[in-house]
Structure 1
Amino acid sequence: MWQTLIIDQSHINQKIDIFKAALHDNSQTEQLIVQKYIIHGTPYVFKDDESKYFDLKHEIATHFEERPECVLMVGSGKLGFSIAPSKLWNSFSEESDIDIAIISREIFEKFWLELYDFDINLVDRTQREQQRYEKFLKYFFKGWLRPDLFPFQYSRTNEWFQYFKSISYKYTPQKIAGAIYYNSELFEKYHMQNIKKMRREDI
């Protein structure tokens, strides 16, 4: 059973300052920043019990028949603050989601083949479904499968969300959401683009 996380705003502010300093340090490449802050280390949400991070990774990896190292926490749960453009610098809170990235070519390709067959057999789409599909393709091109954008009638959609619902609030008092990346290179590239954009805008 999880223990209530005490949100230490001063600690989060310190982490934000460190991250901003890294952004302004030209000796640190975008790739280094992604590897050092987004990939490496214990997530903020597990700062008081890092073994829980492995337990969560292991449970998800076992479900998808992958290795724990293929499962990473991202977002504010990892950093203690958000670097998403719409929520930039927002502190992690009990209302935040826990975002999980599963980096696996095998899982990606399995869904890819199923979704390909599903799309071929789909005769018609509503305008809303078409907009959702176009957004899905935008992320798919970047090597990222977002299940929240799966086609409405795709049978595995509910299965995906039911699984993550079943483990939500088990390790932390937050909802858990997951997405799939094709490989670690594309995972890094996606986040590197965000870091480059932040630097370009001198955030």
Structure 2
Amino acid sequence: MTIEERLDNFKVDLKDNTMSNLQITRRHFSFGTPYIFDKDESKYYKIKEKIADKFLIHTDSVKMVGSAKLGFSIAPHKLWKPLNDESDIDMVIISNDIFDLYWKELFEFNNIDHTSRTEEEDKQYKKFIEYFFRGWIRPDKFPFSYSKKKEWFEFFKSISYKEFGEKKITGAIYRENYFFEKYHESNIKNLRDGGLL
């Protein structure tokens, strides 16, 4: 299916008043082969397996999001922009165990190892907390440098620009499916309420 066909199907669902925001979220984000691997869906399993093996979780706990999944972006600043050479492959881990592991380490690091923050670190910390409140850890927003942050980025760098195409692969963590779905439901609601169809 082409990007245009995927986008048309997505917009049809957005306009369908019988479909809830949750149904659209599940149909387009939780299920189906990502656009980027439409020609070889075994690659989707392989990338999920690689990440799952690294974090000792089930492959069902790993999903692709963003334009690599849909074929186009729904981010406000690049709405409907098709996947292109500059697009990343955005992966998410949905696991309370992994989320809580990072939570505890960040708590220890912030409160024991790094009690003072520069103005820039404090600004970054506040951004990190905004996402954290929504059940989402974005390692690119980690406020400080600590061992797990370095390990995270080294792992995703090690699988980028290789067997999954000439693309950077990024990752984030949701504590549970509830938060994953609520985030995407909110985006769907904004698209529908904003008349951006």
TM-score norm. by structure 2 comes to 0.96
Give the number of aligned pairs: 194
From 15, 18, 23, the counterpart of 1:27: 18
CA distance in 1, matches of 2:146, 2:190: 34
RMSD over equivalenced CA pairs, Å: 1.1
Q: State the partner residue of 1:190.
A: 183
CA distance in 2, matches of 1:157, 1:28: 39
Output the amino acid matched with 2:149.
T
Pair 1:142-2:134 in alignment: yes
CA distance in 2, matches of 1:123, 1:58: 37
Q: How does 1:11-26 map to 2 (within 5 A)?
A: 11-26=2-17
Pair 1:175-2:168 in alignment: yes
Post-superposition CA distance 1:6-55 (Å, at most 9, x none): xx9xx212211211111111101000000001111000000000011101
Equivalent residues of 2:88, 2:169 under 8 A apart: yes
- 1:196 CA displacement: 0.5
Q: State the partner residue of 2:116.
A: 124
Q: How does 1:48-63 map to 2 (within 5 A)?
A: 48-63=39-54
Compare 169-178 and 56-65 and name the one that shifted more.
169-178
Q: How does 1:12-161 map to 2 (within 5 A)?
A: 12-121=3-112, 122-161=114-153
- 1:173 CA displacement: 1.4
Equivalent residues of 2:122, 2:143 under 8 A apart: no
Output the amino acid matched with 1:179.
A
Secondary structure of the residue aligned to 2:93 is strand
Output the amino acid matched with 1:148.
D
- 1:190 CA displacement: 0.7
CA distance in 2, matches of 1:92, 1:66: 29
Output the amino acid matched with 2:122.
Q
Secondary structure of the residue aligned to 1:72 is strand
CA distance in 1, matches of 2:120, 2:190: 30
Identity of aligned residues (%): 49
- 1:95 CA displacement: 1.2
Output the amino acid matched with 2:107.
Y
Output the amino acid matched with 1:113.
K
Which structure 1 segments of 5+ residues have no match? 1-7
Secondary structure of the residue aligned to 2:45 is helix
TM-score norm. by structure 1 comes to 0.93
CA distance in 2, matches of 1:118, 1:158: 14
Which structure 2 segments of 5+ residues have no match? none
CA distance in 2, matches of 1:117, 1:80: 40
Output the amino acid matched with 1:198.
L
